[in-house]
Amino acid sequence: MRTKLLAVATLTTLAVCQICFAAAQPQKVRIASHVSALSPLHQQSQMFADEIEKRLPGQFEFTLYPSGQLGKEKALITNVKAGSLEMINVASGVMKLDKKLGLFDLPWLFSSRDHVRKAMDGELGRQVAQRIEDKAGVTVVGIYENGFRHVLNKVRPVFKPADLKGLKIRISGGKFRQGVFQQMGATPQKISWKETFTALQTGVVDGVEAATYGFYGQKQYEVAKYLSLTGHVYTPSFLIASKTFWDSLTAEQQKVFAAVGAEITGKAYDGAATLETKYFAEMKNHVKINDIDLKAFQAATSKSYDNYVNSQGDDWLKLVEIAR
């Protein structure tokens, strides 16, 4: 009988130890992105992971997957909605969740990075996050920066809208951005980002609109020599958690995740600006960089605002103007 009791006690102790060991193991969290490790998005994901480790040491094991390792942007958004992926950091693809989010495809919506920060730190940012959560069933942990987008092409410098006439330009984003380039006389092309360098090199497209890190990361400056600082669109980045993952966190962990997501915002914007400055400096020896006639471009694309307001209303535009 004594032997049997000792055996039961031993098994109980082992079971308890196994439970304690399992509880002590950090929860694995993947943060995936469709863009490269040179992007602000990768930098932001690392900032977030590092800060969570400081505040909740040993509770999580973060692994970052940039460059579409876990899928293209559309697939990442689908997987985080389905709960099969813990977290993602994405950009233009979010606009396709709801037409109202097409606001960020409107040209020259923001006048500067400071304007962006004021708008997104206020009511506009709160409403955008809520819209995404309602439409996709996810948690928006933070809204940061993907960057202002410019035009790189191999034909001629772009100073005014007429300089874009007839050029085949690879674009991302939704129908509002497509309309903007059509209004400027360009022929927008939808091509996978991974195929863009080859398309540019072989003449399938004449140019590309992208954030600065995109040109730099693919070394597109090797085959296209005219970089026009159009700044035509500002695209936010969105750090998003699946509902399945978020609900698995304790109330305290959720509180810390939300706090960190908000608190790194300023650092994220500053980091994106620093990266952009660095990449411009390194590309200027390879490409001719020029400014544009902003008023001429704004006049040429004013119709895009009418199209947006007619279908989505002007309430978000008013919030942008308040921040201006």
For 31-70, the pLDDT digits (tens) are 999 999 999 999 999 999 999 999 999 999 999 999 999 9
SS3 content of the chain, % helix, strand, coil (to 5): 55, 20, 25
**pLDDT at residue 10, rounded to an integer:** 47
The answer, yes or no, to whether residue 263 has pLDDT greater than 80, is yes
CB 153 within 8 A of CB 166: no
- Supply the pTM of this predicted model: 0.88
The answer, yes or no, to whether residue 23 has pLDDT greater than 80, is no
Are the folds of 2-104+111-144+237-273 and 148-234+280-311 the same? yes
* pLDDT over 70, % of the chain: 92
Q: In CATH, what number does 148-234+280-311 get?
A: 3.40.190.170
Helices (H) and strands (E) in the chain, counts: 14, 11
Confidence tier at 320 by pLDDT (50, 70, 90): very high
Q: In CATH, what number does 2-104+111-144+237-273 get?
A: 3.40.190.170
**How do the domains of the chain map onto residue ranges?**
2-104+111-144+237-273, 148-234+280-311
Question: Among all chains, which residue has been given the structure tokens 């950090």?
Answer: 26
Q: At what angle do helices 175-183 and 303-312 cross, to 10 degrees?
A: 150
Q: Once rounded to an integer, what is the mean pLDDT over residues 242-252?
A: 98
Tokens of 93: 């693809």
**Distance between CA 275 and CA 249 in Å, rounded?**
33
For 142-197, the pLDDT digits (tens) are 999 999 999 999 999 999 999 999 999 999 867 778 888 898 889 999 888 889 99
